[in-house]
Structure formats: structure tokens, C-alpha cells
């Protein structure tokens, strides 16, 4: 009951924010510009419908998988991305108009709004196209005490695919083909393979049947798999032959790999307790696979050589990218170091919410060990 009440409050807050954002767009467009009564009525109806579309689509997506819901969700999610750019453009319009007024410079406010919204729309369109172009990011990682057999070998890292209303089995099939063309020795899937919405988990994961590597394919659950009971997702992944790691260690020709799912790594104490239960040999190279780069200091204290994560999406686009950088600091993306341990955080292959990316690229990471 308490969880349901919290969910209702959360939805109410989000919907209120969206109402205010759309109202701000309306006021910006109509300031010093009087549309006809018919145009104004249409504008009010359109913005009102758009303001509730994403919340309605999101709620439906957690229980429905039909085509109509998928189309509604994708369309509303795209609009949420464009809304961010138009909102920023509107803010810039008011700021520019305010400074110009203080300086005694006359500006045609409506023309300024149209120009900045056109630029915002162009950014949104590029971000939409960019989100569908998956890159290969190549990184060399030098690990101390790496077994000689692993020098020069490659590992693929993919995270945050987010199979659901926007990304589907066809998208995963293309990712698998792209990974296999790189011929990796080892493959890591760092969580959020699924979006957490209603889905045929087994059917969606079928392309993973072809994802193979000489030294194995390993998966850990992300937060989107663990919104509730994660068994349907983990069973679907395991059925494809991918090794699901849940607070356990495997040794692959002298390389130690530990997988910790998201829910076991959300707090300092819990992650530390898990890592004490699966101790590693500090005199040999080791990798911690966990979804989020939340507590790398705990992994470093446990003696790991390298942590592999995703989760941040590098914010996908502004202003969320600013927030992601503030939260995760140097661990928000790419290769970084804390003490003796290195951390690589991927921006992910898919998207969550708006399928847009600007300033972050969807990627498959190819790590070459030295």
C-alpha cells in the first residue's frame, strides 16, 4: 500500500512538472503574439495532450505490449526529448529578451522564439538520428598481474540496451552481429538489457543465442531488471547460454571475474559485504562487473584491478548530461582511475525514455588488455 501511494505521488509530481513545462512553452509562444481564436484553441489542445502523453504511455507500457502502446510510447518519448531542447530555447529567448530590454535594444520577441525553437528542433532531430547510430569505442587497458595469455586479447562491453517499447529484438540482433564482427575473446553485458516494461522476455532475448566468445559471455542485472522480481529476465538471459553472475566469481585462464547485480551494490555496506563473500587474489588481475559506478572506492579497497559499468548513459543529452556529470563526476563515462583500480563506464547502447542522444553516443566498447 505504501509503495502504491509513493508511486501515485511520483506520477503526480512528474505530471505537474510536465504541465508547467508545456504551459511555459505556450506562454512563450503567445507572448506579444496573438494567434487567432482557432489557432489558439488548437495550440491549447495540442499542448495539453502532449503534456499527458508520456505519463499515460509509460503507465500503459508496464502492463501492455501491443503495437498501439509501443507507438504511443515511442512518439511521446521522442516528444519528451524535443521538449527539453524547446524548453531550453524558450529560456534563452526570455533571457535574451530581458538583457536586450535592459540595454534598451528593441527585439521582436516572437521572431526570436521562432529562430531559437528552429535551432532547438534541429538539435533534437540530430539527437534522434544520433541515438540510432551505434559506434565501436576502442580502449586499451593495462592491468597489473595480467596473465600472459590475456595480453592482446579483447573483451566486448555492452550495457543499457533497454529492450522495451522503443528498442526491440531487431535492435539486439544488430548489436549481436556488430559485436561478433569484432571477434572478442570475452563478452560482458553490464545490466539493463531490458527496460523493465511489459515484454516477452524470452523472445526479446533470442538474439543472444548467437552471442558467443571463446572465454564466455557474462551478464549482471541492472536496476531496470530489478524493479521487481528479476527472475523472468534472468531466466530468459540464462536460457540463451549467457552466464548470469549473481554475487559470484569465475576464473577464466587466470583472470578473475566477479559479477554483482545492481540491488547488491546500491550501498557501501552491502557491496562491501558481498565482495567479502567472494574474495579475490590480489596478486592476480581481476574484473568487477556491476551495473552502476556508484561505489568504486569499495571495489578498489577490495583489491580489484578493473571495474566495468554502465547505467549513466552520459545523461543522453542536456540538461540531463549536466546532472549525470555532477552525480558521477569522473566516473560518468570512459576510463578513469581511483587508487590502484581503473574504472570504465560505458554510455550504453540504447536509451531510456527519450530515444535521443546529444553529447553522448550509443556504443559497444572493445577493451584490449595489455
Give the model confidence (pLDDT) of 81-95 as tens digits. Answer: 999 999 999 999 999
Q: How far is residue 78's CA from residue 294's CA, in Å, rounded to a whole number?
A: 28
| 8 A C-beta contact, residue 285 and residue 147 | yes
| Count of other CB atoms within 10 angstroms of residue 37 | 8
| Count of other CB atoms within 10 angstroms of residue 236 | 23
pLDDT at 2 over 80: no
| Count of other CB atoms within 10 angstroms of residue 225 | 28
| 8 A C-beta contact, residue 196 and residue 160 | no
| pLDDT given at position 180 | 98
Give, rounded to a whole angstrom, the gap between the first and last alpha carbons of the chain.
Answer: 53
| 8 A C-beta contact, residue 167 and residue 196 | no
Q: For residue 128, which of 332, 362, 365 has the smallest C-alpha distance?
A: 362
| 8 A C-beta contact, residue 210 and residue 185 | no
Buried b (16+ CB within 10 A) or exposed e, 300-329: bbbbbbbbbbbbbbbbbbbebbeebbeebe
The stretch 25-49 carries a mean pLDDT of 94
Q: For residue 134, which of 364, 331, 370 has the smallest C-alpha distance?
A: 364
Q: How far is residue 127's CA from residue 123's CA, in Å, rounded to a whole number?
A: 6
| pLDDT given at position 3 | 59
Q: Which residues, 6+ apart, have CB-to-CB distance to 292 below 8 Å?
A: 191, 222, 223, 262, 265, 309, 310, 311, 312
Q: How far is residue 276's CA from residue 288's CA, in Å, rounded to a whole number?
A: 13
Domain 135-369 falls in which CATH fold?
Purple Acid Phosphatase; chain A, domain 2 (3.60.21)
pLDDT at 248 over 70: yes
The stretch 199-210 carries a mean pLDDT of 97
pLDDT at 344 over 70: yes
pLDDT at 131 over 90: yes
Q: How far is residue 280's CA from residue 286's CA, in Å, rounded to a whole number?
A: 7
The stretch 187-202 carries a mean pLDDT of 97
| pLDDT given at position 268 | 87
pTM across the whole model: 0.94
The stretch 317-344 carries a mean pLDDT of 96
What's the pLDDT band for 1 if we cut at 50, 70, 90? low
Q: Rounded to the nearest 5 degrees, what angle is found at the Cα of 237, between the Cα atoms of 202 and 269?
A: 130
- Across all residues in the chain, what is the average pLDDT? 96
Q: In terms of DSSP H, where are the helices of the chain?
A: 2-30, 37-61, 67-102, 109-130, 169-181, 201-205, 231-238, 268-277, 296-301, 320-328
Instruction: Write down the domain spans for the chain.
Output: 2-130, 135-369
**What is the phi/psi pair of residue 293, to 5°?**
-85, 50
Amino acid at each position: 500500500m505504501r509503495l502504491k501511494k509513493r508511486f501515485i505521488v511520483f506520477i503526480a509530481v512528474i505530471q505537474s512538472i510536465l504541465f508547467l513545462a508545456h504551459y511555459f512553452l505556450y506562454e512563450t509562444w503567445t507572448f506579444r503574439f496573438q494567434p487567432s481564436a482557432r489557432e489558439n484553441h488548437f495550440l491549447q489542445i495540442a499542448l495539453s495532450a502532449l503534456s499527458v502523453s508520456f505519463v499515460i504511455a509509460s503507465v500503459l507500457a508496464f502492463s501492455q505490449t501491443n503495437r498501439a502502446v509501443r507507438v504511443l510510447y515511442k512518439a511521446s518519448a521522442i516528444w519528451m526529448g524535443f521538449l527539453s531542447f524547446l524548453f531550453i530555447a524558450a529560456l534563452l529567448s526570455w533571457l535574451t529578451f530581458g538583457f536586450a530590454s535592459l540595454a534598451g535594444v528593441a527585439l521582436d520577441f516572437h521572431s526570436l522564439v521562432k529562430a531559437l525553437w528552429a535551432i532547438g528542433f534541429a538539435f533534437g532531430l540530430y539527437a534522434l538520428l544520433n541515438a540510432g547510430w551505434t559506434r565501436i569505442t576502442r580502449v586499451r587497458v593495462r592491468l597489473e598481474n595480467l596473465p600472459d595469455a590475456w595480453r592482446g586479447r579483447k573483451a566486448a562491453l555492452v550495457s543499457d540496451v533497454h529492450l522495451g517499447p522503443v528498442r526491440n529484438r531487431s535492435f539486439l540482433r544488430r548489436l549481436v552481429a556488430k559485436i561478433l564482427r569484432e571477434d572478442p575473446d570475452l563478452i560482458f553485458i553490464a545490466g539493463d538489457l531490458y527496460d523493465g516494461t511489459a515484454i516477452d522476455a524470452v523472445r526479446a532475448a533470442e538474439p543472444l543465442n548467437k552471442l558467443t566468445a571463446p572465454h564466455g559471455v557474462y551478464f549482471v542485472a541492472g536496476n531496470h531488471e530489478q524493479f521487481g522480481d528479476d527472475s523472468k529476465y534472468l531466466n530468459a538471459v540464462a536460457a540463451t547460454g549467457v552466464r548470469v553472475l549473481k554475487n559470484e566469481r569465475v576464473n577464466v585462464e587466470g583472470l578473475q571475474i566477479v559479477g554483482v547485480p545492481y540491488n547488491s551494490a546500491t550501498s557501501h555496506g552491502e557491496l562491501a559485504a558481498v565482495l567479502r563473500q567472494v574474495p579475490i587474489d590480489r596478486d592476480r588481475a581481476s574484473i568487477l562487473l556491476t551495473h552502476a559506478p556508484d561505489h568504486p572506492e569499495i571495489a578498489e579497497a577490495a583489491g580489484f584491478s578493473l571495474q566495468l559499468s554502465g547505467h549513466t548513459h552520459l545523461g543522453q543529452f542536456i540538461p540531463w548530461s549536466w546532472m549525470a556529470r555532477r552525480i558521477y563526476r569522473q566516473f560518468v563515462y570512459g576510463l578513469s582511475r581511483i587508487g590502484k583500480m581503473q574504472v570504465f563506464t560505458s554510455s550504453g547502447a540504447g536509451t531510456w525514455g527519450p530515444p535521443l542522444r546529444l553529447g553522448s553516443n550509443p556504443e559497444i566498447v572493445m577493451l584490449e588488455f595489455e
